[in-house]
Amino acid sequence: MKDCIFCKIISDKSPSLTIFEDEIVRVFMDKTPDNNGHILIVPKKHIVDFTELDDKTAVHINHIVKKLKTILDEKLNPEGYRFINNSGGTHIKHYHLHMVPYYIPKQKIESPKTIYEKIMH
């Protein structure tokens, strides 16, 4: 979709702080994070609604979440995670999964670039 921001990110026509990518998904930092380490897991195929998500992609996303949890646990040490599925009626009409670490006590939110550097190094 030519106007979809996620499709633009996937095709490198718009910048992102990408922390993981393979043939099925791209994972990058949320530009307006709810917490430190807030990432988006986005299928490369333009899928509007989760009901369009094929089983292979859904299982793959779950596998990637487990890998990312290990990395984020090691680098950021969160208390736990919230997962938010966005599809259909959101302002971005491309299915995506928010993986949002939470912390007790709540931390000051740092810039996505600062957290990206912590995750990638």
CATH for 30: 3.30.428.10
On average, the pLDDT of the chain sits at 94
Quote the tokens at residue 74.
């090691």
- What pLDDT digit, counting tens, does each position of 81-119 carry? 999 998 766 688 899 999 999 999 999 999 999 999 999
Quote the tokens at residue 10.
């996937």
Between CA 40 and CA 31 the distance in angstroms is: 10
pLDDT mean over 55-66: 97
Domain containing residue 12: 5-120
Q: Which among 117, 116, 121, 118 has a CA at the least distance from the CA of 30?
A: 116
Other Cβ atoms closer than 10 A to 121? 6
Between CA 9 and CA 7 the distance in angstroms is: 5
Between CA 93 and CA 4 the distance in angstroms is: 7
pLDDT of residue 1: 67
Identify whether the C-beta of residue 67 lies closer than 8 Å to the C-beta of residue 19: no
- Express as a percent the part of the chain with pLDDT over 90: 84
pLDDT mean over 70-79: 97
pLDDT of residue 99: 98
pLDDT mean over 7-26: 97
pLDDT of residue 87: 74
Lowest pLDDT segment from 19-23, 37-41, 61-65, 103-107: 103-107
Identify whether the C-beta of residue 101 lies closer than 8 Å to the C-beta of residue 70: no
Q: Is 71 a residue whose pLDDT tops 70?
A: yes
Task: Give the chain's domain count.
Answer: 1
